Structure 1
Amino acid sequence: MAIASIRPAAVAGQFYPADERVLRTQLGEMLTAAVPLETMVSPKAVIVPHAGYVYSGAVAATAYAGLAALRDQIERVVLLGPNHRLAVDGFALPAAQAFATPLGTVTVDRPSWLALQQRGDVVVDDRPHAYEHCLEVQLPFLQTVFDHFTLLPLLVGDASTEAVAEVLESLWGGPETLIVISSDLSHYHPYHQAQWKDRATIEHILGLHADLSHDQACGATPVNGLIQCARRHHLQAHLLDLRNSGDTAGDRNRVVGYASIAFCDPVPHASQHH
């Protein structure tokens, strides 16, 4: 594979350790310590935060620890997040055919990459991806909990909820496909105000209301699209963890909210077995 077609790690050494051994150790500790609020059964999709690991890694780990049971099942990860650095009209796929981290490279799912380009609102552009952290910080977790998987990395810019839902439906696949939405919650409110705001946001998500604003979640656009699909597929949302940077590694004057949420098939009630 030509070097030009690999997107190098942009935020290793900032958002997470650049040293492979240090990174593996930190991931192992976070995943071992993770105790989800709810047990989840074979999640189809998760929402996870994307700050530096010292801030949100423990929250993300509650979702990824629960996904470890799917190690032999997941072959493709569809990863969506908001663009933070460069405006995107619609959706941006990378031109790069692999993403590198200190743990190795992940190959882009080429059939999906080609198929998505049939849409008029999808551009192929490495520039929005070059320094974007929201997708990259998920990769070491994914590389740790899954053995072999391909990646469909998509940045979501100015797009409608319906457009995101259409894209997700086209990539939905079967039990071999996991959908990961990268999003933080509220930004830079005082601690208790953030707690109140984020709990209200979580109630919307758990109720499958696809009406989040970007004040509530920076990844509101992809989250709303996922919620719309979850309703169609009769998935249930489960809160796994909800904290903010004031709980993890920051001061409490200006905090950022983080949650991990899993979307699963409904658990059959015991009465149905009798």
Structure 2
Amino acid sequence: MNIMDIRKSVVSGSFYPETEEEIKRYIEHFNSNFTIENELQIDVKALIVPHAGYIYSGFTANLAYNISSKKQFENIVVIGPSHRHYLKGASIADFKEYETPLGNIEINQEMIKNLKEKFEFICFDEDAHFEHSTETQAPFIKNYFPNSKIIEIVYGEINYKELSLLIDEILNSKNNLIVISTDLSHFYSLKKANYLDNICLNGIINKDLSLLDKECEACGKIGIKAILASAIKNNYETKFLHYCTSYDRTKDDKSVVGYTSFLVGEKI
């Protein structure tokens, strides 16, 4: 296979470990630190998860993947914001495989072709895929959904309503799972971060888009609004799982980043 056919990992060894053994050790550690007391009465359609280094937000993200893996999916579609590259619309990773330390994941080429034909705002901009917001999800996907194919969509300047139409199209199939990648507030005091993040959390819990337009700060806010718009249209529930900040790891309360995870889906 030509190297150009592979979406190479670009943040392994920094945001997450570069070896399978180390990643498995992280996940085992995460899983030893929680129990689900009751079955969550939700048929999962989407996850909202963070994308910082695993030492900061890995537990929070892992929780969502672990719970949702009770059901397997044919395709996992990861949607995240572009942090380093200006982009109008969204770029879809038009490669054949996605590299992870746990082994490569097949990319669904047919699905890429269909989405590019249906949505004018989707292109393939290779530079957009040097992106950690989406890549940090890939090892979790390979671990919990070993037989799934992956689709990576990185968005830039785009209206959340357009992105929501794309999500609706993807969720027309019960074999697809959406992953919305976002962190919350960045570099405030712990008190201020908790205040701002609480607005975001309430917006997601109550599916209240107006709250997200107030003091909520999230780098993936467009993605959050898009999945909430789809949830409102389809009468999906949102289930809060976890919230933390970088303070829990660093003990620095002067400049923290917030993280959360949610499930989105039909109530059973």
TM-score, length of structure 1 as denominator length: 0.91
In the alignment, structure 1 residue 23 sits paired with structure 2 residue 45:
no
How has the CA–CA distance of structure 1 residues 67 and 15 changed in structure 2, closer, same or farther, with 3 Å as cutoff? Answer: same
Aligned partner of 1:46 in structure 2 is 47
Aligned partner of 1:55 in structure 2 is 56
Q: Secondary structure of the residue that 1:87 maps to in structure 2? A: coil
* CA distance in structure 2 between the aligned counterparts of 1:56 and 1:215, rounded to whole angstroms: 19
Aligned partner of 1:98 in structure 2 is 97
Cα drift, residue 175 of structure 1: 2.8
State the AA in 2 paired with 1:262: L
Write out aligned runs for 1:102-251 (5 A).
102-118=101-117, 119-129=119-129, 131-211=130-210, 212-213=212-213, 216-249=217-250, 251=252
Aligned partner of 2:85 in structure 1 is 86
Q: How many percent identity over aligned positions?
A: 28
Stretch moving more, 247-256 or 35-44: 35-44
Aligned partner of 2:67 in structure 1 is 66
Contact 2:19–2:101 at 8 Å: present in 1 too?
yes
Contact 1:38–1:240 at 8 Å: present in 2 too?
no
Off by >6 Å, runs of 4+ in structure 1: none
The Cα offsets for residues 171-197 of structure 1, whole Å up to 9 and x where unpaired, read as 113332111000001111100111111
* Gap runs ≥5 in structure 1: 268-274
How has the CA–CA distance of structure 1 residues 39 and 192 changed in structure 2, closer, same or farther, with 3 Å as cutoff? Answer: farther
Aligned partner of 1:271 in structure 2 is none
Cα drift, residue 132 of structure 1: 0.8
How has the CA–CA distance of structure 1 residues 37 and 13 changed in structure 2, closer, same or farther, with 3 Å as cutoff? Answer: farther
Cα drift, residue 95 of structure 1: 2.9
Cα drift, residue 219 of structure 1: 0.3
Q: Secondary structure of the residue that 1:151 maps to in structure 2? A: strand
Contact 2:199–2:216 at 8 Å: present in 1 too?
no
TM-score, length of structure 2 as denominator length: 0.93
State the AA in 1 paired with 2:110: P
RMSD: 1.7
* CA distance in structure 2 between the aligned counterparts of 1:37 and 1:221, rounded to whole angstroms: 32
Contact 1:81–1:154 at 8 Å: present in 2 too?
yes
* CA distance in structure 1 between the aligned counterparts of 2:60 and 2:207, rounded to whole angstroms: 21
* Gap runs ≥5 in structure 2: none
Cα drift, residue 53 of structure 1: 0.2
Contact 2:196–2:216 at 8 Å: present in 1 too?
no
Q: Secondary structure of the residue that 2:238 maps to in structure 1? A: strand
Q: Secondary structure of the residue that 2:267 maps to in structure 1? A: coil
Cα drift, residue 134 of structure 1: 0.7
State the AA in 2 paired with 1:54: I
Contact 1:80–1:155 at 8 Å: present in 2 too?
yes
Stretch moving more, 215-224 or 24-33: 24-33
Aligned partner of 2:4 in structure 1 is 4
Stretch moving more, 214-223 or 102-111: 214-223
Cα drift, residue 152 of structure 1: 1.2
State the AA in 2 paired with 1:158: E
| Equivalent pairs, count | 264
Contact 1:81–1:181 at 8 Å: present in 2 too?
yes
How has the CA–CA distance of structure 1 residues 111 and 37 changed in structure 2, closer, same or farther, with 3 Å as cutoff? Answer: farther
How has the CA–CA distance of structure 1 residues 55 and 2 changed in structure 2, closer, same or farther, with 3 Å as cutoff? Answer: same
The Cα offsets for residues 205-256 of structure 1, whole Å up to 9 and x where unpaired, read as 1111234259511001111110000011111111100111112345111101
